[in-house]
Structure 1
């Protein structure tokens, strides 16, 4: 079993839906305090997380656990999640007690039986799974059983450059983002060339990684709600790929597009929005924090992504805390993951970030958790009056979170993602037509799903 998983891990990357049956619920833990109903003591090892390498949001939550449970000794891998080292740790006979991993790939480990169901943990800590966003719970739930507690919530939204739109005679607040013809026309108008030289990309479709977003917008999810049926061959997916890939053409094709994008100061003060090198793209909301750090006065409008019928939505994902099935100290591990994800702990961590940002006179955009009750307090008053564009951006993210869609847990999450990503790259490099490339990818993905589900 672990040999097979180690082989699969070579393809696994920590990446970023339908509705599934909700996980069991109890009252307490995720909502407020985290005092455990059992004795919590002994050594604990967390894989895929760090204290020394973590920021204040990580440190405050860990410190809270250590204060509440002084008889427990928790240590960390001081690294992000990596599939092969995790599986090697399982195979060694000394598995970690808890693991922080991407929700997009957790289905692989659930299917192989290496993660423990959390029924007992939920009861032990009195965890109310209803306080977590539905899209996050769906990603960690199989057959009505939760296998992890959601941590952060990552959302995708449109980021639009106001000066670029105004120069093109377009209104970033009213452009119809549900109308693909309007998006294509705007892309042509927003792209700026000097002869054969590209000076500004109009719209970056964010391929290959954002194909699921475009497919959902076209009412064509790429995998079934139970994660067992690849739907890459659906005509709506091919149409979404053809359209989104076509947005590269205004810049002179994918190669010129990428060559220009590679010149951006993505994390610096001369980033693509500040330097007028990009007019619009869908992106994860964490990039707003980058802009708040390096370009707090950047002139942008943030809008939700929309289906072609005009329904605002987002693609949600993030990490989650799970307990390996062979963990040596599962009760203490349960107390730890409950503490790391409950509202009271999140709020304490966010308060420190607020204090730090205010002292530095920098905009504070909050902390996007997967816990609704925490978010209600964290975002109650961020005091962003000096940065109205960022204030509007944060509110847009909050407004769309309840409309999140997520990739359901699949027993072959890595192979499925590899299949469709390879197909998109093939199309973008001119090596195939969307329908044919996706049909081949669908067959590959379905074979992997069926093999993993046996």
Structure 2
């Protein structure tokens, strides 16, 4: 029987730092050969265990129902809770892994390098998974050294979200905070922020460090890692400049710790959220928050735009989830069929119809779903319903952002790379280091990890 247990994993929210220490290609036993027979017309049978995913809402359960129909008599069991990387790696090492695993896309490179998940070329070809229909940045994030190791599912992108009343009161527009002019954003931050007696009353702008350093670096014209995933670029002058600017946004408001403490006190998912209560001017935020805001505070004075680079062009840092088949899976044929079904256009249509019905029942608009499948995205977009302004603009900007995504490429040391990056940003935010010093150290650590991991991986080929 299928277990349905509440978990954030179903929303694709898995900590990017959970794989710390799991980056190098050692200790899990290796992926071995994939001798399964994949055929979309063949019957699959037996049982299949799923780790890291549990159905919690209509978007999840409708797709699970569709996938189970495609699996026929296969008995599907879902583990409880989100993915525990150490538990998963231990299961692979002991020869008792789940049959399919649901992971963050930025975990796939490390898992592949460790031999914990198998290449999916034969699965993709045999089941006829149309990878040419998937979002390019999402597929690139699960492709290590030219080989695909995961089938992308949800996709997340950022939008500029702002309080229109606060902007208007300061003589500003959303264009002043969308990233296209950093000097204008710094000025807007100071115009919007309010403090009394040293205590923050209104956050002007939140640059969302440390997680959005890749976004600001890209806006400044540089990637944090080379396209082939082999060369760290953390100490590039453009990255240093991006970090200096993003940190200055907090310094102008009394420091990161003060801003973070105040933003953490907000009712982020409730009707007392920071936009509804006019205690935040603007910030970049993942698109799913549009639905949260519309649901709990539909009358909030919102303004939306994409995030833009310094030339005024739209960009978004893509992230999301993926399905992978563990080394030693007892039923890889069913696992491959399941991954195809869960990410198919038909499954996303079922999910969109279920979400649309739920929203209509509540008298609220359907603001769309970003799936990782570009063909499905086009279909779902046609199903969205109007909520009036500013919500219709938010939906339009979401799809505009989804057409302008980038991601960090898969690499065998992705966990160590992210740890080095986050440690550097946090050292600066804590006042322990300058951006240049912190990123110089991070560059050395990240490059050393990349060199070692790639060397080990290439030695095994």
**Same fold? TM cut 0.5:** yes
The equivalent residue for 2:27 is: none
Could you tell me whether the CA contact under 8 Å between 1:38 and 1:124 is conserved in 2?
no
User: What's 1:37 paired with?
Assistant: 41
C-alpha distance in 1 between matches for 2:294 and 2:123: 38
Could you tell me how far apart the structure 2 residues matched to 1:255 and 1:154 are?
27
Identify which of 299, 307, 310 aligns with 1:308. Answer: 310
Point out the more displaced range, 338-347 or 75-84: 75-84
* Partner secondary structure for residue 153 of structure 1: strand
**What RMSD, in angstroms, separates the aligned Cα atoms of the two structures?**
1.9
Residues 208, 425 of structure 1: 8 Å contact kept: yes
Aligned to 2:204: 202
The residue aligned with 2:333 is: 331
Mapping of 1:355-434 within 5 angstroms? Answer: 355-384=357-386, 386-434=387-435
Partner of 1:299: 301
Select which of 106, 114, 117 maps to 1:115: 117
Q: Is the 8 A contact 1:341 1:371 kept in 2?
A: yes
Which secondary structure state, in structure 1, belongs to the residue aligned with residue 334 of structure 2? Answer: helix
8 Å Cα contact 1:217-1:307 kept in structure 2: yes
Distance in 2 (alpha carbons) for counterparts of 1:311 and 1:217? 9
Q: 1:183 aligns with which of 174, 182, 185?
A: 185
User: What corresponds to 2:279 in structure 1?
Assistant: 277
Runs of 4+ deviating beyond 6 Å: none
Worse-superposed segment, 132-141 or 300-309: 300-309
| Cα pair 2:181 2:310 within 8 Å, conserved | yes
5+ residue gaps, structure 2:
1-16, 23-37, 457-461
Write out aligned runs for 1:15-94 (5 A): 36-51=40-55, 54-94=56-96
2: CA distance between counterparts of 1:205 and 1:68? 44
Contact 1:176 1:182 in 2 (8 A): no
Q: Which residue of 2 aligns with 1:155?
A: 157
Q: Distance in 1 between matches of 2:440 and 2:405?
A: 27
Residue by residue over 1:12-51, the C-alpha shift from the partner in whole angstroms, topping out at 9 and shown as x without a partner, is 69xxxxxxxxxxxxxxxxxxxx992222111101111113
Gaps of 5+ in 1: 1-7, 14-33
User: SS where residue 239 of structure 2 aligns?
Assistant: helix
Question: Where does residue 452 of structure 1 map in the other structure?
Answer: 453
SS in 2 for 1:11: coil
How far is the alpha carbon of 1:250 from its aligned partner? 2.5
Q: Report if aligned partners of 1:36, 1:125 keep a CA contact under 8 Å in 2.
A: yes
Alignment of structure 1 residues 110-149 onto 2, 5 Å: 110-149=112-151
Q: In the TM superposition, what are the counterparts of 1:92-107 in structure 2 within 5 Å?
A: 92-107=94-109
CA deviation digits over 1:257-297, x for unaligned, max 9?
A: 22222221111101000111100001111111211221122
1:37–1:124 CA contact under 8 A, matched in 2:
no
Could you give the per-residue CA deviations for residues 329-356 of structure 1, whole angstroms, max 9, x where no partner exists? 1111111100000001110111011101
Residues 12 and 217 of structure 1: is their aligned pair in 2 closer, same or farther, counting only changes over 3 Å?
farther
CA separation of 1:68/1:262 partners in 2, compared to 1, >3 Å: closer, same or farther?
closer
1:195 Cα offset (Å): 4.3
Q: Please list the CA deviations of residues 93-142 of structure 1 after superposition, one character each: whole Å capped at 9, or x if unmatched.
A: 11111111001121101122221111111122212111111111111112
Q: Structure 1 CA distance, aligned partners of 2:113 and 2:418? A: 16
Output the TM-score relative to the length of structure 2.
0.88
Aligned length: 425
Q: Distance in 1 between matches of 2:257 and 2:81?
A: 34
3-state SS of 1:252 partner? coil
Give distance in 2, aligned partners of 1:239 and 1:449.
24
Tell me what 1:441 maps to.
442
SS of aligned partner of 1:200: strand
- In 2 relative to 1, CA 119–176 (structure 1 residues): closer, same or farther, beyond 3 Å? closer
**8 Å CA contact 1:39, 1:332 repeated in 2:** no
Residue 299 of structure 1, CA deviation: 1.8
2: CA distance between counterparts of 1:250 and 1:378?
A: 42
Residue of structure 1 in register with 2:261 after alignment? 259
- Residue 166 of structure 1 corresponds to 168
